[in-house]
Structure 1
């Protein structure tokens, strides 16, 4: 699924002669603050030219000592790609089913059809049920050059964020997931991924059936400290009109690192909060005025 009409090209100022990139109408700060995790896609294929530009942006990311140990396996519609999509899709359904039960998505407010919790569950169920039909999967990989360390992700995950931001700039969208971890050995055998190379996640990619828009997070004052831990910074104030969320999956009991029913962060559907998931759950609604401020526990629109 790599055919289709390519975007217009232009020679941007400040780049070497002959360098061409698609026209980007999304400013950097706008892209950073409005790139949602997109989990619903049209059937439109992603052109090779778009994939090239997105991966070019991804590979501009920083890495330790500029070693550039990231690699990307792009899965579209070839026989091995289809087999890999099926493997990850089956894992996604197993992991989501366990998480849905463990985190109680069908209990409490989950029984109210229009609650954020219920909309989140519908969004994820639809996502995993149609996983094999997603136009493109990209497996970001890290070629290890030393024993695994807690900081090694710093040389692959920035490239993943670059990838998602570039997709946003070109009118596409994606979501980062960890469902590949449940079938790591099978994927390695199928795709010939060598020992010593870490498959760091699965990025889904396509033309959004939903939409991007302002993401909600906790207030800046809760996340930024000055001088020492827990000391608020009086300048850490959100822009006027910012809307917030405290949504997120239930936390395991103190001292618990997860169980078979609670797969933990490696198998979690992705880094976005439940509000991000709910934002992509149903067709867009009429947005509320941007002047609304203060705490808002509902889903993103």
Structure 2
């Protein structure tokens, strides 16, 4: 789009600069993060949307160094399991040097996890509801027979995505807030490979689902522009 003096470009909200420089920051200083800032991060997460406005989320916030040291072996096992599946080369199209830097940062975080200042674990438990037979019948009628059968087939995936959609918008808010406050953070789900052990270590109820493990701290290094595919490559206008 051409710009001239008579039609100046609209100013870009500061949030756009925050998003454009919100890289996954895995190299953290061991310095503690004030509780007030950590509570701001969780507040930002709570402001995220929640399906049906049920707000059934809970956030485990770990700052105690002795607890972090107990979690470090679990983290190492999960990271090693992940790295074992990635191979020595990055995915097709990814710059090899960039891939090497990413792996080095992951290994650094693994080896220094016990010194992580804070860890946030978002949790969610969808409330149990008695089956509404009449509601299910009307839903099936609205969808049509074949679509209703397909929904029944993917019900487990549908339920998982329903919970995730109540959690991950809040997680993104948390990551944006961290970047805005000058804190480093990155989202991982590797803990799910040993979720039962993580729950046991943190006293999380068995029926509570965990959705991420987010290390937070002051960054070693600088924030910088994210590297993403061009928008023109990912847009499919009015259909695929």
Same fold (TM over 0.5): yes
Structure with more helix by fraction: 2
Q: Secondary structure at the match of 1:44?
A: coil
Decide which of 117, 124, 132 is 1:135's aligned counterpart: 117
TM-score (norm 2): 0.74
Other-structure match for 1:12: none
Cα deviation, residue 135, structure 1:
1.2
d(CA) in 2 for partners of 1:130 and 1:34?
A: 24
User: Within 5 A, what are the aligned runs for 1:132-281?
Assistant: 132-146=114-128, 148-229=159-240
Distance 1:72 1:124 in 2: 24
- The match for 1:99 among 74, 85, 90 is 85
Tell me if 1:47 matches 2:16: no
Indicate yes or no: 2:76 matched with 1:89.
yes
For 2:17 and 2:235, locate their aligned partners in 1 and report how far apart those are by CA, in whole Å. Answer: 21
Q: CA deviation at 1:78?
A: 4.9
Structure 1 residues 78 and 131, CA gap change in structure 2 (3 angstroms): closer
> Quick check: 1:89–1:132 contact (8 Å CA) kept in 2?
no
Shift of 1:212: 1.5
CA apart distance, 1:195? 2.8
> Do residues 80 (structure 1) and 64 (structure 2) align?
no
Long gaps (5+) in structure 1: 1-25, 230-301
2:52 to 65, 79, 102: 65
Q: Is the CA contact 1:34–1:214 (under 8 Å) kept in the aligned structure 2?
A: yes
117 and 187 in structure 1: CA distance in 2 versus 1, 3 angstrom threshold: closer
Distance 1:85 1:160 in 2: 22
Q: Which residue matches 2:102? A: 120
Deviations 1:16-48 (CA, angstroms, capped at 9, x unpaired): xxxxxxxxxx92221122111100111221011
Secondary structure of 2:121's match? strand
What secondary structure, in the 3-state scheme, does the structure 2 residue paired with 1:73 have? strand
TM-fit CA distance, 1:149: 3.4
Moved more, 30-39 or 74-83: 74-83
Runs of 4 or more above 6 Å deviation: none
1:56 paired residue among 43, 50, 53: 43
Which gives a bigger RCO, structure 1 or 2 (Cα 8 Å, sep 6+)? 2
Question: Shift of residue 178 of structure 1?
Answer: 1.2
Structure 2 residue ranges without an equivalent (≥5): 1-12, 129-155
Question: What RMSD in Å do the two structures reach over aligned CA positions?
Answer: 2.6
The 8 Å contact of residues 68 and 116 in structure 2, kept in 1 or not, is answered as: no
C-alpha distance 74-86 of structure 1, shift in aligned 2 (>3 A)? farther
Greater Rg, structure 1 or structure 2? 2
For the Cα contact (< 8 Å) 2:30–2:117, is it kept in 1? yes
